[in-house]
Amino acid sequence: MRMEIPYLSLMILVPLVGTIVSFLLPRESTKAKWVCLIAALISLVISFIVTFAYVWSWPMGLQLDPSGSFAAYEKADWIPTLGMSYVLGVDGLSLPLIVLTHLLVALGIVFSWKETDRPKEFFGLLLLMDLSITGVFMSLDLFLFFIFWELVLIPMYFLIGIWGGPNKHYAAIKFLIYTHVGSVIMLLGIFALYFWAGPALAVGNTFNLVELANAAKLDPTYLGMAFQAPVFVAFFFGFGVKMPMVPFHTWLPDAHVEAPTAGSVVLAGLLLKMGGYGLFRLGLTMFPLAAREMWWLLATFGVVSMVYAAFVCLAQTDLKRLIAYSSISHMGFVLLGASSTLTIGIAGGIFQMFNHGLITAVLFMLAGVAKRSCHTRDISKLTGLVQKMPLFSFILMVSFFASLGLPGLNGFVSEFMVFAGSYESFGRYLIIPLLAIIITGAYYIWTMHKMVFGDFNTALGKIRDLTREEALPLFILLAFIIFFGLYPAPVIGLIEPYAAGLSSLLGGLG
């Protein structure tokens, strides 16, 4: 008899238990960080087990999807009269992001190991982020998806509002308002899909994403363009606020500047990916006719975000704000890849989310190190640091090169795939998004030259290079950046089957 293990539920249950235990510990206890780190590492190990079992067909007790679309699949009745069910599943789209989630949360906890301001609440909220983001990436029921989507706002709001900088309350409220408005727009799309698609399905009204996706696969034109177009746009803008795309981006720089370092790592490395994930999982899959006909909408917002945010980076003097705007620019690649509707472009957009998560985590950790050691993030004051902080300077250079797309580092691979996929649609006009790459190189090289190779600013006084707690997560992430730049096949191999299926769905419309 084959024993089935609920690995997916465990990736939610373990962080939940860790969060509860952390909150229940005495205020003076120092065990909270250990509890949260162990919970995050257990979740990371489980995600590796699921990934390896899927890739190499290990007999690890995965619960299988009857349709064969998902690597692992778990389902139980929840509120059947309303068409709601507890459905979790992972595939080539979600698995890389789930592994990334557990990895960044675990490394964020290590990086913040010496946090002394309400540590049990701080680490507990980081673990709650782990739980809720993982839930978003695994949910295959629209209502369950929305619950996890909204749950993410709570810990991030408190991380910014309690442990943030001088303007933390303004940044936290702005973050909450913008992202919640996006959620409301998305919720309207969910209800439209529930009430209008139900009569066309054999199962009736349902929130089950698998049933809805199967209907789209059987007939990509189901419900017609008159229905698909406005609902697709609702989902697109709901997810676009979270990515964020220009002009719905203004909450992000403020949130990053005020957030604690671990909060910025999770915000840029994971929260932004929720928007891209939702676009692929719901927008393109549920509304293939609208997505195919409105590819120009995705491409336009993607290119505008890439170029505009890159230009804005040239004017930044705060290191964290520069990285925040560069994140907006780099997430534009995701939209551009999605708009291509080709396997290589879609796979490149998904891989870009994974790569950007690794790179931006390093960059925000380095911004945190600069603030801790030099007591400033002003680029004009952070000069000649290689003389006093050689490890910091080395990692800064490699991560800058990765972000601007230097061959041999992971950022190059995904950006090249996106451009290759977009050429058929853009042709010679591809020079417009290529402009973003040129500008990115300009602001990163200028910043690197000033911070690393300039004359040391003696006003900084005695400064210290990386501590052990800072060096460990930074070098782990750096190893992944180099490894996936030289050998991206493991992640691309995971992503490609999903990308090919989505491209076939979109391309099959003529």
The DSSP-derived string for 206-239 is --BHHHHHHHHHH-TTTTHHHHHHHHHHHHHHHH
Alpha-carbon distance values, 487 to 72, 413, 448 (Å): 26, 10, 26
How far apart, in whole angstroms, are the C-alpha atoms of residue 255 and residue 309? Answer: 16
pLDDT score for 466:
93
**pLDDT tens track of the chain, all 510 residues?**
455 788 999 999 999 999 999 999 988 778 999 999 999 999 999 999 999 888 876 666 566 665 667 778 888 888 888 888 999 999 999 999 999 999 999 999 999 999 888 999 999 999 999 999 999 999 999 999 999 999 999 999 999 999 998 999 999 999 999 999 999 999 999 998 888 876 666 667 888 888 888 887 777 777 788 889 999 999 999 999 999 999 999 999 999 999 999 999 999 999 999 999 999 999 999 899 999 989 999 999 999 999 999 999 999 999 999 999 999 999 999 999 999 989 999 999 999 999 999 999 999 999 999 999 999 999 999 999 999 999 999 999 999 999 999 999 999 999 999 999 998 778 788 888 889 999 999 999 999 999 998 889 988 888 999 999 999 999 999 999 999 999 999 999 999 999 999 999 887 444
Number of continuous H segments (helices) and E segments (strands) in the chain: 22, 2
Which string of b and e fits 333-361 if b means at least 16 CB within 10 Å?
bbbbbbbbbbbbbbbbbbbbbbbbbbbbb
How far apart, in whole angstroms, are the C-alpha atoms of residue 404 and residue 5? Answer: 42
Tell me, what DSSP letter sits at residue 260? Answer: -
Are the beta carbons of 74 and 87 closer than 8 angstroms? Answer: yes
